[in-house]
Structure 1
Amino acid sequence: MLLVLQKINPSSLTDTAVSLAAAFILGGLIGLERQYRQRTAGLRTNVLVAVGAAVFVDLASHLQGAEGATHVMAYVVSGIGFLGAGVIMREEGNVRGLNTAATLWGSAAVGAAAGADLIGEALLAALCVLAANTLLRPVVNAVNSKPLDVRSVEVTNTVFVIADKAHQKVVLAAVEEEFEHRSFPALDLRVHAFGHEEIEIEVKLASTAVEGQQLDTLVARLLAMPAVKQAFWSPSTSI
């Protein structure tokens, strides 16, 4: 007990208190915006990430100086990646949670700066994270509201063909021949059961600039085959 009391350093405690308080407040500001928008990682998560990073960096700084703090920061950067991966979800070809994961990464950076006694830098970092999540939102919405010109924009296109199961080999060979003839870069080709008597051929093209008119011509040729019931293509800009 006496040994523990002897290790208590009022000056060190004050320094730690300031660092953790800064991490708590700044992480709270970031988390409050996330909580208001009802994101997966809200107020408590961002505060805990910021404070946790600040604690690790502050302890390393007190025990091993600036060099120790630098080493711990490197571990914080890599470690927060595992936490961020937990909030990233893939749903129907779309990736969700990337912004939340990036915000957690920013909160960790804010906490690390606060733990290293760089309160001014921590404040600036927190303001940048908040600005990215608030001030840039109208810009993102304005860009997303613009109509997508699928004829010339760089997108990932997928061609779907519904055909009789009995003629699977013939149709599949014809699809492959059409793609090779037109030099369309196919990333993936899959065949799925489509009911009891039909199949679905799904061909995903590489992300490249493809004219929509070319895909329309391809679909028209495939539809001309007697065994093909449906044929269409769909553009996607998801990750």
Structure 2
Amino acid sequence: MFFVSEDHLILEVLVRVGSAFACGALIGVERQWRGRSAGLRTNTLVCVGAALFVLLSSLTPDDASPSRVAAQVVSGVGFLGAGVIIKEGGSLRGINTAATLWGSAAVGSLCGAGMYIPAAAGVIAIGVGNALLRPVARVVEPKLPPDRTAEEPVDYEFTAICHDGEEAHVRALVVQAMAAEAFSLNGLHSEDIEGTGRVSVVARLTSPGRDDRVFENAVSRLSLERGVTSVRWRVLPHQPVGP
């Protein structure tokens, strides 16, 4: 327990929560300035929330120790951090923001435990990491050789042949399968195969980089559909879209 009287208790709680608020706001200002999804308010609330949980354990020492509560705070913030990570094609965005939230929770836990100097050091370290390490990372990032480029767009043609009555359903399945990925649909058309009672549904798409896995999965999915007699895909020469 950290108090000897009710007045001291109230003052100590105010100091700890106030320091958590200030530390979270300092961390959040940089995130807000850079336009990140978790900015000033989110980092402040995470920091204050972590401090309150640790304070709760200090006020009820018979139920749980502050270190055990802090471990649970880390797990809870992990779920929150996962919400700010966005998948874009083969890359992820928001990992740095999620790590900052994790750091805010650690700073808040330190404030809740009354460890103000480590909390201040944490704020400085997080701020320096976010503000000053960005240009350093760009300098040390490996450069591609002159004869190589980063992933270039790839054009695909996806064809499904089905019975006349299944045309609308197959078109919808093709669009649905590709919409879940980072593909641009350049065209979708159907052609009757004369004298067969079947229709060829052809989709042309562009991917930010080569990803054959998606098409293999689509082939497996559509091959199970009733009325689909053939499914295939191929890579086309990339045709840049003009201005």
Output the TM-score relative to the length of structure 2: 0.61
Verify the 8 A CA contact 1:162 1:231 in the aligned structure 2. no
2:143 pairs with 144, 147, 153, which one?
Answer: 147
CA distance, structure 2, for counterparts of residue 149 and residue 66 of structure 1: 60
Q: Which runs of 5+ in 1 are unaligned?
A: 1-7, 167-193, 205-226, 233-239
* From 188, 209, 212, the counterpart of 1:203: 212
Do the aligned partners of 1:158 and 1:203 also contact (CA within 8 Å) in 2?
no
**Which letter maps to 1:132?**
G
Alignment of 1:44 with 2:41, yes or no, is yes
> Please, what is the CA RMSD of the aligned residues?
3.7
Cα distance change on mapping 1:77 and 1:228 into 2, 3 Å:
closer
Question: Could you say which residue in structure 1 is the equivalent of 2:236?
Answer: 230
Of residues 24, 29, 35, the one that matches 1:32 is 29
Aligned-pair CA distance for 1:56 = 0.7
Give distance in 1, aligned partners of 2:17 and 2:69: 16
Once the two structures are TM-superposed, the CA of residue 230 in structure 1 deviates from its matched residue by 2.9
Tell whether 2:87 aligns with 1:90: yes
- Judged with a 3 Å threshold, the aligned counterparts in structure 2 of structure 1 residues 229 and 28 are, in CA distance, closer, same or farther, namely closer
Q: 1:22 aligns with which of 15, 19, 22?
A: 19
Residue pair 2:154, 2:237 contacting (<8 A) in 1 also = yes
1:157-236, aligned counterparts within 5 Å? 195=188, 202-203=211-212, 230=236
Judged with a 3 Å threshold, the aligned counterparts in structure 2 of structure 1 residues 37 and 199 are, in CA distance, closer, same or farther, namely closer
The 3 A distance-change label for structure 1 pair 38 and 58 is same
| Post-superposition offset of 1:203 | 3.4
3-state SS of 1:41 partner: coil
Call closer, same or farther: CA 1:21–1:124 in 2, change over 3 Å.
Answer: same
**Which protein is richer in helix relative to its size?**
1
Distance 2:42 2:234 in 1: 52
Q: Give per-residue Cα distances to partners, 1:200-226, cap 9 Å, x unaligned.
A: 8x536xxxxxxxxxxxxxxxxxxxxxx
Asked whether 1:10 is paired with 2:16, we answer no
Residue segments in structure 2 that go unaligned for 5+ positions in a row: 162-186, 190-199, 205-210, 214-232, 239-243
**Conserved? CA contact 2:155–2:235, under 8 Å:** no
Q: Which residue of 2 aligns with 1:178?
A: none
Identity score, percent: 42
So what's the TM-score if we normalise by structure 1? Answer: 0.61
Moved more, 112-121 or 65-74: 65-74
